[in-house]
Homo-oligomer: A and B are copies of this chain.
Amino acid sequence: MPGKESKAIIQFAGDEFFVGVTPSGHAQAIETNSKRNLAATPMELLLIALGSCTGVDVISILKKKRQKVTDYHIEVSGERREEFPRSYTRLNVKHIVRGRGLSEPAVARAIELSDQKYCSVAATLRGSAEIVTSYEILEEDLADA
């Protein structure tokens, strides 16, 4: 719903842990001690949010274009400021698409549409970070050979 306000609750759970409950009611542990590393950290969550947001755009556009995708994943890496606050300054988003007879222009266009038009997470992060996209297309038949 446009303009809808939704509320997340983030509960301090002691010892540098938090339990985040999303507006839709899904809870998860969040680690804020990156050396201990027992769960995802806040800055890591931004990376998987970005990858999944753009990913669903790309896979649905490729489906509409009747592309035969057999496997798909996204790699997201971030570069941060050295000073506080250590925000992301650059986010690299690489799409690795495997399929049968995939059209390179179709893949490139799907990624461009997500990056420029549809992806809400990319649009939110872009104010601070440059987002750089790339892709790799793998042929299913050749890979099996």
The interface of chain A, by Cβ under 8 A from chain B, is 2-12, 16, 18, 20-26, 28, 30-32, 34, 37, 39-53, 55-56, 59, 71-82, 84-88, 92, 117-129
Contacts and interface: CB of A to CB of B under 8 A. Distances in A.
A86 B4 CA distance: 11
Given A12-B73, A41-B24, A32 B53 contact: yes
B6 A23 contact: no
8 shortest interchain CB distances as A-B pairs: A127-B127, A20-B48, A10-B51, A85-B123, A87-B123, A127-B128, A2-B82, A32-B56
Copies of this chain assembled into the complex: 2
B30 A48 contact: yes
A102 to B, nearest CB: 14
Contact of A75 (B7, B31, B45, B121): B7
Nearest to A128: B127
A85 B120 contact: yes
